[in-house]
Structure 1
């Protein structure tokens, strides 16, 4: 007789648990080694809360493929709970009326106090939160293999003149000077670091954020384009189409000396068991030590009809900004926490340098959004400029002056 109430209680408990648990489908493009480890942290966090994680990973470092898939899903009325979207694209999706208002959660957990205002503003639409930020990436990094530099008798460059001296020395030593993947977003990543290093933060903002025609047409931009094209001469013939993490692997193995890439590259070094300061070195890209181009990964949260799934979505957003997740995720990803005030005891010297520069440049005005990574201008404008940059990179017959003219035209794209 006593077993029946127990079974009833057990059934009731199971019913309650199933009522609380929901599906949380997350679209992202974290598929390389370090990134996959980081994504697994989020999955584990949600599973501990009893929810069913549905991984919706679409390979392709820049996220272009993922956005194509997402559009078809949203149009068909089958949006995921969250999708990796950032920068002005968040507002573009919000204008379509498909994102969920997260203000109740954000106010309860005091997001306005936890996040820098510049970051928080980018996660809102008409004053309401519609996305949750995961991290802050610094884009303007140079990564190098110290053994390769030593073999070539070269030093880590701090200016573009020094960069070409080091590249020439590596070339003479039989080492590929610059590991590069010939994809348009990688070309653009290199381009913006050159622009920041050659022209400085004020030039960068005028040219690549405000899209000021006079600045785009000026002599500094011409020098940027000349310097950018000179970098290509130190890449290898197999670069076209190479994924960024395979380029990083070339530096890890010592096949190449240097790579210009955001700090997600550090995740690859760490995943390979390499130690910063010993097996690899990190520094601001040439000429950019006092500037910081930021790329904030965030998840836009889509409107859902199912109550359990809505609860799972709220738990996802809450988990993303929790101190525990911010620490574990960013240790794997190579980025730094977006949440202010966290201790960085477990983070390496590259991350500590990044965090210090992030705070310092926010005060000086040299904290600038990455145009290459969707943080600076609307996606249509970014795409047009990106196309010009890659055409110039790949076409040896196009002069810097011709590329400059095309940039001015591309900047007018709406």
Structure 2
């Protein structure tokens, strides 16, 4: 990891970009995500910069990380890249990311960022990425018209969801919109764990990797709940992207979706009002718990002084209140900067901001497993493989899946 010197490019804090070019890799390619990225592009260009887009489609960023690794091995990484959570630390350990401490000190990041954001973006005491927004992962989105028409109440527990699902099916409506991507299934399972077993069990099993928790009666019960939802997902859910699943909730062919609040960007893009047409609630049983994902941009070590200068200017832009408000309004998340006014945000975002504060105070804030915040990418891959195989194999029992989960996670740690 190399220190980013601001001395060589200090003029950036007071002068325009002079047509500096920056290449940025990301996987924000759905309608709402692309709209959010456009906010950054427009503000960058307004400063006189040139934006070279390096967008790699594929939910969850797995494809993007594969492409990024090939670029890094060829010694041609982009100047900046969307990297988050455990993968951010893995890149930092390779020594390929710039140290942003001087920039952070000048911008007073220690005072302007919540503690959990600072720790997520730090490696060996040094900042290695710029935070843009905070997502709540454990959300339940529901079509309000569907529930009103059928005289149903949105579920507040997983048992309630299972009880009302047959009535939705009888009305010709898919209860739970989800695709067969392993990471989508991991989000569902994560919310079941938090809702039925609580955040303490979640920490012991999926952060501490305690063997007796990984293969336990509690884990078996959670896996049974997970498998019991299989009849309630779309009949042809193979290849269904997360934003297509959101579309099913929007058009009423599905009643609910369990997905992070980036789904809100799709609603806004379609002209719907989050919290009105499509309701938002904590995932069943998750009312007090906030499972977080942090969007961040890392800067790669580059030799070109002009590219170094452009990196600093981009980091400065990403940390402005104006950019964070506009970006997160489009993206569905809330700003990473603490204390920004939320009056311009929709009701779901305001609810998220309040829930985050309460979770921090009550000790119910947890890093998302499915979004790579809780554990290494290797352990996450092991988890998603086991969950996907179990969900799609009608013959595999929860006891077998629990044994396999323990073996796979401990081998990958």
1:113 paired residue number:
111
Change over 3 Å in CA distance of 1:214–1:84 after alignment to 2: same
Instruction: State the 1:18 CA deviation.
Output: 9.8
Which of 192, 195, 208 is matched with 1:194 structurally? 192
Which of 135, 142, 145 is matched with 1:144 structurally? 142
1:337 paired residue number:
335
CA contact (8 A) 2:17 2:49 kept: no
CA contact (8 A) 1:21 1:312 kept: no
The reply to whether residue 99 of structure 1 matches residue 86 of structure 2 is no
User: Aligned partners of 1:281, 1:371: CA distance in 2, in Å?
Assistant: 25
Instruction: State the 1:63 CA deviation.
Output: 0.2
User: Aligned partners of 1:32, 1:207: CA distance in 2, in Å?
Assistant: 33
1:393 paired residue number:
391
Post-superposition Cα deviations, 1:71-99, rounded to whole Å, max 9, x if no partner, equal 01111111111111111211111111111
Q: Does the residue aligned with 2:99 lie in a helix, a strand or coil? A: coil
- Farther-moved stretch of structure 1 (38-47 vs 18-27): 18-27
Instruction: State the 1:150 CA deviation.
Output: 2.1
2:44 paired residue number:
46
1:205 paired residue number:
203
Instruction: State the 1:19 CA deviation.
Output: 7.8
CA contact (8 A) 1:154 1:169 kept: no
Structure 1: tracts of 5 or more residues without a match: 1-16
2:244 paired residue number:
246
User: Aligned partners of 1:378, 1:84: CA distance in 2, in Å?
Assistant: 17
Instruction: State the 1:304 CA deviation.
Output: 1.2
Post-superposition Cα deviations, 1:184-211, rounded to whole Å, max 9, x if no partner, equal 1101111100111110111111111111
2:120 paired residue number:
122
2:370 paired residue number:
372
1:317 paired residue number:
315
User: Aligned partners of 2:167, 2:337: CA distance in 1, in Å?
Assistant: 42
The reply to whether residue 225 of structure 1 matches residue 223 of structure 2 is yes
Q: Does the residue aligned with 2:203 lie in a helix, a strand or coil? A: helix
Post-superposition Cα deviations, 1:79-134, rounded to whole Å, max 9, x if no partner, equal 11111111121111111111111111111000111111111112112211110111
Q: Does the residue aligned with 2:236 lie in a helix, a strand or coil? A: coil
2:261 paired residue number:
263
CA contact (8 A) 2:275 2:346 kept: no
Q: Does the residue aligned with 2:38 lie in a helix, a strand or coil? A: helix
Q: How does 1:266-345 map to 2 (within 5 A)?
A: 266-345=264-343
Q: Does the residue aligned with 2:60 lie in a helix, a strand or coil? A: coil
User: Aligned partners of 2:52, 2:329: CA distance in 1, in Å?
Assistant: 23
2:10 paired residue number:
none
Change over 3 Å in CA distance of 1:184–1:19 after alignment to 2: closer
Q: Does the residue aligned with 1:134 lie in a helix, a strand or coil? A: strand
1:31 paired residue number:
29
Instruction: State the 1:21 CA deviation.
Output: 3.2
2:83 paired residue number:
85
User: Aligned partners of 2:251, 2:86: CA distance in 1, in Å?
Assistant: 37
TM-score normalised by length of structure 2? 0.94
Cα RMSD for the two superposed structures: 1.2
User: Aligned partners of 2:295, 2:275: CA distance in 1, in Å?
Assistant: 26
CA contact (8 A) 1:88 1:379 kept: yes
Count of equivalent residues = 398
User: Aligned partners of 1:117, 1:287: CA distance in 2, in Å?
Assistant: 26
